[in-house]
Amino acid sequence: MSEPSVTALAPANDASFENVWDEIVWRGLVHVSTDADALRALLSGDPITYYCGFDPTAPSLHLGNLVQLLTMRRLQLAGHKPLGLVGGSTGLVGDPRPSAERTLNTRETVAEWVGYLRSQVERFLSFEGENAARMVNNLDWTAPMSAIDFLREIGKHYRVGTMLKKDAVAARLNSEAGISYTEFSYQILQGMDYLELYRQYDCVLQTGGSDQWGNLTSGTDLIHRVEGASVHAIGTPLITNSDGTKFGKSEGNAVWLDPAMCSPYRMYQFWLNTDDADVISRLKVFTFLTRDQIAEYEQLVADEPFRRAAQKRLALEVTTFVHGVDATTAVIAASEALFGQGDLTSLDAGALRAALEELPNATVAPGTGILTALVDTGLVASISEGRRAIAQGGVSLDGEKIADDTAVVNGTLPGGVSVLRRGKKTLAGVFIEG
* 15-36 tens-digit pLDDT: 999 999 999 999 999 999 999 9
- Residue 5: the pLDDT is 55
Number of neighbours of residue 156 by Cβ within 10 angstroms? 9
Cα–Cα nearest to 80, from 134, 10, 27: 134
Q: Which domains are present in the chain?
A: 29-236 (3.40.50.620), 352-434 (3.10.290.10)
At residue 425 the predicted structure's pLDDT band, cuts being 50, 70 and 90, is confident
- Residue 428: the pLDDT is 95
- Residue 250: the pLDDT is 62
Alpha-carbon distance of 324 to 82, in angstroms, equals: 22
Alpha-carbon distance of 418 to 168, in angstroms, equals: 50
- Residue 339: the pLDDT is 82
* Tens digits of residue pLDDT in 344-359: 999 999 999 999 999 9
CA 259 vs CA 213, 251, 266, 296, 329: distances in Å:
30, 17, 9, 31, 15
Cα–Cα nearest to 235, from 210, 215, 212: 210
Give ∠ CA 122-128-134 in degrees, rounded to 5: 50
- Residue 6: the pLDDT is 63
Alpha-carbon distance of 245 to 249, in angstroms, equals: 9
Note the pTM of the prediction, 2 decimals.
Answer: 0.91
At residue 241 the predicted structure's pLDDT band, cuts being 50, 70 and 90, is confident
CA 103 vs CA 91, 97, 107, 166: distances in Å:
11, 11, 13, 22
Instruction: Estimate to the nearest angstrom the gap between the alpha carbon of 237 and the chain centroid.
Output: 14
